[in-house]
Structure 1
Amino acid sequence: MASPSILLPGDDVLLDLRSTTSTPLKVGAGLRLLHESATSTPPSYTVTAIHAGLLSTDNKRNAISVLSFANHRYIATINDLVIAQIHHSSLDYLHCIVTPHTPYALLGQLAFEGATKKTRPVLKPGDLVYARVLSVGVGAGTEVELVCVNPATGKAEPGGLGPLVGGMVFDVSVGFAARLMRASSTSAPGDTDVIILDELGKKLEHKGGFEVAVGRNGKVWIDCSSNKDIAVQATIAIGRCLTETDTCNLDPIEQRKLVSRTLRAARIDP
């Protein structure tokens, strides 16, 4: 029986992967692995959906995930990249806001590349960090733990994990954030319907470009400080392009037109 293309929270996922490699099953956002039997041939898995969305399978990478519908509710999943805001600190942890009206996520004071008690970043309330979800609790009200390094290497991988200095943060839907991350992914096929960041990068390259970090929790950080003359205008223009693409569900042609129109209105059209 084929897996359903549309999943609701609690639905079981019936797998039909034909991986040609021995790569373990990679369970992405929106799903939770409940049981794995490596002794059977082929290995069997029990996976359930925790988000509503479309089931996406990648036979080559032996990976599955859920493509979320446009919404603003984020449920933390292990290995997600998120943009978190520092709320307060304690002796061992920084207490961070990942989504409103949920318990604070915990980020270890030494969970940064090369951090020691003397060299760790000194972060104050309101500061931002780009972090990876290390673990999630089971049940309502349980804490999420974050880390700003790859646990396997101790390095800030992928590039950019750690404090986010300067720039501005824009809110987008959780589903659109996931699409932006897939579009920029080098390890998996991108989302060819989302070209807004690529188009902005091409248009602003001769102006100094910009830095971007996309959080799975519906946050996008933009920094155009490399060109101080147009930093504010460019940052606001990029934010407008992102939010309009998200809310209006623009196709690639409309996204290109939006970029040209917005940059021209901001008087930074190349």
Structure 2
Amino acid sequence: MSKRPSGMELAKQPGTIILPGERMANIGDSADAGQAVIRIGSGVTQKSSELLASKAGYMRYEASRNKLWVESNQKRYVPALEDPIIGIVQDRFGEEYRLDINGSDTATLSMLAFQGATKKNRPNLGAGALVYCRVVRASKNMEAEVSCIEPGSTKSWSGGETLYGELQGGTVVQVSLGMARKLLREDRVLKMVGNVPFQSAVGVNGRIWIEAGNCEHTMLLSLALQKADVMRADEWQEFVKQLWSQSKK
């Protein structure tokens, strides 16, 4: 995470292709007044007052969170601060869970890193449990750390109304990292999947959780999302129509 003045200048338009070493933005003098915060995501490195690309891909910028990153077709997820991800509990060590996050390494989750959790009142997760969480520490030299606490929220994990926490029921669909980020940017894609109510959670690590109330609808939604990753938009829309029409027979 890096400080920047409100007048940060992007060197390229978001969505354009960028190569390693190319300048993405100038963040000026971090000592200036009127500082804001820019979140540096995957594929971005800082050199003095400049943000440079460290890998090839599409330049992305999310104004609402002041987040800058490079989107590529990599298969393995690289943790970045504030990324929402879906982890799978592998084991428990003392007061921490170790999660598979679809990366080259695992991540740790404190047993108290849940909204309103205490030593006497906290989730008890078993191996294989799905957890929707956010990255709070990301380093090349250390294991990533995640949390299920949403800043500013007063809801408790025990009420089942928190944004982050254990995902119960449903199923997980594995998609490309690019598709996962697209689903976060354009929720209309999820809305087009079907005409039944469902719950979903999108992790930028390529995992999508879907729960539609019954197994048939959940499986149909999962299949539609998998196909969205490999079909053209027009082909996919036609496929979704046929999928739901056949399910009603």
TM-score by length of 2: 0.80
Q: Paired residue for 1:234, among 209, 217, 240?
A: 217
Matches within 5 A, 1:24-63: 24-27=36-39, 29-32=41-44, 34=46, 45-57=49-61, 61=64, 63=66
Q: Is the 8 Å Cα contact of residues 55 and 64 (structure 1) preserved in structure 2?
A: no
What is the CA distance between 1:10 and its match in structure 2? 4.8
**SS in structure 2 opposite 1:26?**
strand
| Correspondent of 1:214 among 182, 197, 202 | 202
Letter of the 1:242 counterpart: L
2:237 is aligned to 256
Structure 1 CA distance for aligned equivalents of residues 96 and 133 of structure 2 = 14
- Per the TM alignment, residue 153 of structure 1 is displaced from its structure 2 partner at its CA by 5.0
Q: How far apart, in 2, do the equivalents of 1:162 and 1:235 lie? A: 20
What CA distance in whole angstroms lies between the structure 1 residues aligned with 2:139 and 2:27? 29
Alpha-carbon offset, residue 172 of structure 1: 0.1
Say if 1:258 and 1:159 are closer, same or farther in 2 by CA, change over 3 A. Answer: farther
How big is the shift at 1:33?
A: 5.5
Is contact 1:82-1:130 (8 Å) kept? yes
Extract unaligned runs of 5+ from structure 1: 37-44, 185-194, 226-230
Query: Once the 2 structures are TM-superposed, how far is the Cα of residue 261 of structure 1 from its aligned partner?
Result: 1.0
Please give the alpha-carbon distance, in whole angstroms, between the structure 1 residues aligned to 2:27 and 2:40. 16
Preserved CA contact (<8 Å) 1:30 1:52:
no
Relative distance call for 1:62 and 1:118 in structure 2 (3 A) is closer
The answer as to 2:176 corresponding to 1:173 is yes
Name which of 12, 17, 32 aligns with 1:3.
12
Choose between structure 1 and 2: higher strand proportion: 2
> Among residues 133, 136, 141, which one is paired with 2:135 in the alignment?
133
Instruction: Determine helix, strand or coil for the equivalent of 2:116.
Output: coil
Q: What CA RMSD, in Å, does the superposition of the two structures yield over aligned residues?
A: 3.0
The structural deviation recorded for 1:182 is 0.5
Tell whether 2:81 aligns with 1:78.
yes
Query: 1:196–1:241: 8 Å Cα contact kept in structure 2?
Result: no
Q: What is the number of residues matched between the two proteins?
A: 230
Change in Cα spacing, 1:244 to 1:114, as seen in structure 2 (3 Å) is: same
Structure 1 equivalent of residue 148 of structure 2: 148
Amino acid paired to 2:127: P
Q: Does the CA contact (< 8 Å) of 1:196 and 1:255 recur in 2?
A: no
> 2: CA distance between counterparts of 1:151 and 1:49?
29
Extract unaligned runs of 5+ from structure 2.
1-9, 29-33
CA distance in 2, matches of 1:9, 1:266: 47
Three-state SS of the structure 2 residue aligned to 1:150 is coil
Q: State the shift of 1:54 in Å.
A: 1.3
Residue type of the alignment partner of 1:110: L
Give 1:263 deviation, angstroms: 1.4
Matches of 2:64 and 2:169, distance apart in 1: 36
Q: Does 1:182 align with 2:163?
A: no
Among 188, 191, 200, the alignment partner of 2:193 is 200
Q: Is 1:95–1:105's contact at 8 Å kept on the other side of the alignment? A: yes
Q: Residues 127, 55 of structure 1: CA spacing in aligned structure 2 closer, same or farther, 3 A cutoff?
A: same
Per-residue CA deviation, residues 98-144 of structure 1 (Å, 9 max, x unaligned), is: 015x22200011000110111110000000100000011233xx200
1:72-98 C-alpha deviation (Å, 9 max, x unpaired): 221111000000000001112111100
- TM-score, normalised to structure 1, is 0.74
